[in-house]
Amino acid sequence: MSDKNVHNAGYTSSGIKGGSTASSIMSHEAKASGGGVRSGGPTSTLQGMGAKGSTHSSGFTAWGISSGSQASKMMSQEAKSHGGGTPRGGTTSTVQSI
């Protein structure tokens, strides 16, 4: 995953860009959770990366998730909380797709 992809999706140092993929993801996530976005979810994870302006060493790559990375830890935790798999639309799959 590159900084450019995160920024182009609408996650920026000044917040989520209106009308962007990021705002759409945030809207869907908020509706699904009753009105807010949770810490550690797709919106907060990607916005944190966008605000820092750096996705380097996160472990999300064009070739998949790097072993031993922060991304692999996130995927493992998410899989454990969902009975062994990462859900479509979950944090890991959303961040990896961007």
pLDDT for the residue 20: 92
Q: Say which residue, 2 or 12, is predicted with more confidence.
A: 12
- Using one digit for the tens of pLDDT, what is the confidence trace for 23-53? 988 898 888 888 888 888 878 888 888 887 7
CB of 65 closer than 8 Å to CB of 72: yes
CB of 20 closer than 8 Å to CB of 68: no
The closest of 61, 65, 98 to 79, measured between CA atoms, is 65
User: Token pair 């996530």 is at which residue?
Assistant: 29
Percent of the residues in the chain that have a pLDDT greater than 90, as a whole number: 6
Query: Which amino acid type is present at position 12?
Result: T
pTM of the shown model? 0.65
